[in-house]
Amino acid sequence: QSVLTQPPSASGTPGQRVTVSCSGSNSNIGKNPVNWYQQLPGTAPKLLISVNNQRPSGVPDRFSGSKSGTSASLAISGLQSEDEADYYCAAWDDSLNGRVFGTGTKVTVL
Amino acid sequence: EVQLVESGGGLVQPGVSLRLSCAASGFTFSNYAMSWVRQAPGKGLVWVSGISDSGGTTFYADSVKGRFTISRDNSKNTLYLQMNNLRAEDTAVYYCAKDLGATVWGLGTLVTVSS
């Protein structure tokens, strides 16, 4: 089961800013870095943000990540149609001694 | 270019075994931990298992502990997932990923457990 909670959906019009939250606990987000993944329809997930706020090469700077306490957030500024996808957060959980993923958020561009 | 190619999926009956493989290229495989992550049809991502670069340390989700075994052959640049006593709820696309942070993903292989 997922121990990181995300809203099921988020939406915005082209050009708007959308944020996705990820709520965890002291055993995961509170102690370990957060990664974010983007999964476009029918494709494999892709790393979007690593170590809370680092963008891998090739990821547009419209995507940004942050972390505070036991929560993390992904922000998409200047929303574009190609950003329509599912987004997942993930972190290592020291209590479970394993990695945990968020419940996933479907971002829709209106 | 980093590439991960999974294979070994298929349709199997409950209770049988299956071994997945993941062929890695484009990076020094023996320097990196590796992971397996699965996704049931229409559902979210679920971490399954991880293994250290040497293979000496392994990690498992509670849902597969005792049934699945992760291993690797660094001489063949290949990651494995031995799945025993498969259940209907193990039906999913199985992805292998580079390191415990899953920084690069393969395209996945579908495992369907059904009678």
pLDDT tens column, B2-29: 999 999 999 999 999 999 999 999 999 9
* C-alpha to C-alpha distance for A39 and A24, rounded to whole angstroms: 21
Q: pLDDT (tens digit, 9 = 90+) per residue, A61-76?
A: 999 999 999 999 999 9
Q: pLDDT (tens digit, 9 = 90+) per residue, A49-58?
A: 999 999 999 9
Q: What is the pLDDT of residue A1?
A: 57
Per-state percent for chain A, helix, strand, coil, to nearest 5: 5, 50, 45
Would the CB atoms of A35 and B35 count as touching at under 8 Å?
A: no
* C-alpha to C-alpha distance for B48 and A29, rounded to whole angstroms: 19
Q: Which of A44, A56, A101 sits opposite B47 (nearest CB)?
A: A101
Q: Are B28 and B8 contacting, i.e. CB atoms less than 8 angstroms apart?
A: no
Which residue in B76, B85, B86 sits closest to B112, CA to CA? B86
The values of phi and psi at residue B29, to 5°, are -55, -40
Q: pLDDT (tens digit, 9 = 90+) per residue, B45-85?
A: 999 999 999 999 999 999 999 999 999 999 999 999 999 99
Give the residue on A whose Cα is nearest the Cα of B50.
Answer: A98
Going residue by residue through chain A, which has 110 residues, state the pLDDT in tens, using 9 for 90 and above.
568 999 999 999 999 999 999 999 999 999 999 999 999 999 999 999 999 999 999 999 999 999 999 999 999 999 999 999 999 999 999 999 999 999 999 999 99
Which positions in chain A touch B50 (Cβ < 8 Å)? 98-99
Would the CB atoms of A101 and B46 count as touching at under 8 Å?
A: yes
